[in-house]
């Protein structure tokens, strides 16, 4: 069902500082900040050649990233995103197997403009999983 890793998301308390560290210390190609109010985050993508790293900073007081950073003030890995060919088929298969899709189970539009869903971390060894349908 899952394809390649699309990105690894890191919650950070200071987006500009984290982006600067990746750019200046690691020599990475760092994208521009992108506000995603529907998800409560501002993101920056870092292209590593074979995948991406997504830096996440809270956008607003109700951001899920704010709650994560309260527990992890220095930041840390928030989720792993895997590509899928058909998100509706993936959701149906996962729900049939007992896995929990977060929210109401309806895909939302992600940072790349593609449909995404998140899977409950308790069903996947404590890791929040994002599935993203990517064009073939």
Please report, for the chain, the start and end positions of each structural domain, with discontinuous segments joined by +.
Answer: 5-133
In the structure encoding, which two tokens stand for residue 130, read together? 């994002």
Whole-angstrom distance, CA of residue 122 vs CA of residue 80: 14
- pTM of the complete model: 0.94
pLDDT tens for residues 2-28?
999 999 999 999 999 999 999 999 999
pLDDT at 62 over 90: no
Give the helix ranges, DSSP H, for the chain.
Answer: 15-20, 64-71, 87-96
From 54, 57, 83, 130, active-site residue: 130
Mean pLDDT of 47-63: 94
Mean pLDDT of 101-111: 94
**54 catalytic residue (yes or no):** no
Confidence of residue 129 (pLDDT cuts 50, 70, 90): very high
CATH 3.10.180.10 fits 5-133, yes or no: yes
Percentage of residues in the chain having pLDDT higher than 70? 100
């Amino acid at each position: 069902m899952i394809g390649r890793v699309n990105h690894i998301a890191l919650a950070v308390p200071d987006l500009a500082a984290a982006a600067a560290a990746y750019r200046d210390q690691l020599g990475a190609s760092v994208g521009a900040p992108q506000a995603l109010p529907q998800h409560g985050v501002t993101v920056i993508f870092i292209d590593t050649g074979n995948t991406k790293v997504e830096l996440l900073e809270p956008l607003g007081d109700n951001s899920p990233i704010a709650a994560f950073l309260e527990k992890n003030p220095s930041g840390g890995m928030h989720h792993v995103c895997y590509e899928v060919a058909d998100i509706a088929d993936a959701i149906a298969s996962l729900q049939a197997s007992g896995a929990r899709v977060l929210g109401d189970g309806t895909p939302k539009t992600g940072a790349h403009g593609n449909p995404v869903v998140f899977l409950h971390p308790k069903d996947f060894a404590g890791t929040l999983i994002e599935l993203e349908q990517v064009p073939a």
